[in-house]
Amino acid sequence: MALVQHNMTTTQFELHGYGVVRTLGLVRGIIVRSRSIFGTIGASLQTLVGGNITLLTDLCERTRSEALDRMLQHAGQLGANAMVGVRYDATEIMQGVTEVLAYGTAVVVEPKRG
C-alpha cells in the first residue's frame, strides 16, 4: 500500500525545496477512541499525584499517530507523494469517546531546480 512519507508532510502550504505540480485534494484520517476502565482508573490515580498523566498522554499520542498514518495512506492511494497544510482536530463525541481527525491537502511535488 502506498504511503506518503512523514518527512514529506508539513503544516505549511509549501514544502521547502519542492514545487507542487498537481493538487489531488483534501484527505483525512479519522480515529475514534475510548478510554478503557483500567486506563480511566489509572489516570484518575495519577491525578492524585499531579504532573504528567502518562496514561492519557500515551493514549493521545497513539491516537494522533494512527490518524496521521491513515491520512498518509489515503494520500498515497490517490497518488500523492507529499502533504501540505496538515492539521489535527479532536471532538468529544460522547463522554470518554473522542474522534481525532488528521487532514490536509494531498499533492504531487517535484524537487525545485536551480
pLDDT at position 36: 57
pLDDT level of residue 27 (50, 70, 90 thresholds): very high
Mean of pLDDT values over 5-16: 95
Encode pLDDT of 44-89 as tens digits: 555 656 666 666 678 788 989 999 999 999 999 999 999 999 999 9
pLDDT at position 11: 97
pTM of the full structure:
0.82
Helix ranges, 3-88 (H): 37-49, 54-77
pLDDT level of residue 2 (50, 70, 90 thresholds): confident
Distance, in Å, from the CA atom of 109 to the CA atom of 35, rounded to the nearest integer, reads 39
User: What share of the chain has pLDDT > 90, as a percent?
Assistant: 59
The answer to whether 4 touches 77, Cβ cutoff 8 Å, is no
pLDDT > 60? residue 43: no
pLDDT at position 74: 97
104: buried, middle or exposed (CB in 10 Å: 19+, 13-18, 0-12)? Answer: buried
Domains and CATH numbers, the chain: 6-111 (3.30.110.70)
